[in-house]
Chains A and B, each alone.
Chain A
Amino acid sequence: DGGITQSPKYLFRKEGQNVTLSCEQNLNHDAMYWYRQDPGQGLRLIYYSQIVNDFQKGDIAEGYSVSREKKESFPLTVTSAQKNPTAFYLCASRPGQGNSGNTIYFGEGSWLTVV
């Protein structure tokens, strides 16, 4: 089945540790995104990438890093510099072309808890 796969679904991290969330899509979408959801704050954009080997900071990029070495993959690393990393993280992708070119589609999300 085509889709966006995030892993792991649940992740616990000790303070001071880096952790990487995986996002893979087999939809042949050009653009990929990482959003974070906190209660009462909707979805906030962390990073996005429109093509391979290129990415831009979103609204809350501090404490995060990404890479886009392959079209299908857009991993997010939550570093120890991120002050409040406990959240629900959502990966998304966008076709980039056609009538639905501006609609983004989401994965199932990953829960990160810092203990």
Chain B
Amino acid sequence: DQQVKQNSPSLSVQEGRISILNCDYTNSMFDYFLWYKKYPAEGPTFLISISSIKDKNEDGRFTVFLNKSAKHLSLHIVPSQPGDSAVYFCAASARTTGTASKLTFGTGTRLQVTL
């Protein structure tokens, strides 16, 4: 049972444009969400997170939006740069249930930023 879903395995965006990566979740107990970026044969790098008490969090070119009613979050990258080309993982945890230490990951979306 995939509790965190990234339905788009890949995405191609032109340099300078906006990249939008989507993530859906099914567990209503999830209340903390994170995005990680991963290059091949390397460990994932933390990008940005959002708590369920917010609907938006911004950090430079990266913004994460959370729609709790739809159980949906998205990562916006503006403007997209060639160095953003990587696999992006969405992750979620349920801090309030005492399982804060467990992150559940989606299957990832491969972003390619073209020149």
Whether A and B are associated in the same complex: the answer reads yes
CA of A105 to CA of B102, assembled, Å: 13
Counting CB contacts under 8 A, is A26 at the interface? no
Interface size counted on chain B using CB atoms at 8 A: 26
| Cβ 8 A contact of A45, one of B42, B89, B102, B106 | B102
The reply to whether A106 and B102 form a contact with Cβ atoms under 8 Å apart is no
A-B interface pairs (CB < 8 A), number: 55
Map CB proximity to A onto B40-63 as digits: 1 under 8 Å, 0 otherwise: 011111100100000000000000
Interface-lining segment among B69-77, B78-86, B93-101: B93-101
Query: Top 8 A-B pairs ranked by shortest CB distance?
Result: A106-B43, A42-B107, A43-B105, A42-B105, A108-B43, A106-B44, A109-B43, A107-B43
**Would you give 23 A-B contacts (Cβ < 8 Å), ordered by A?**
A4-B43, A6-B43, A35-B105, A42-B6, A42-B106, A43-B89, A48-B101, A50-B101, A58-B102, A90-B43, A92-B43, A102-B32, A102-B49, A102-B93, A102-B100, A103-B34, A103-B46, A104-B103, A105-B46, A106-B43, A106-B44, A109-B41, A111-B41
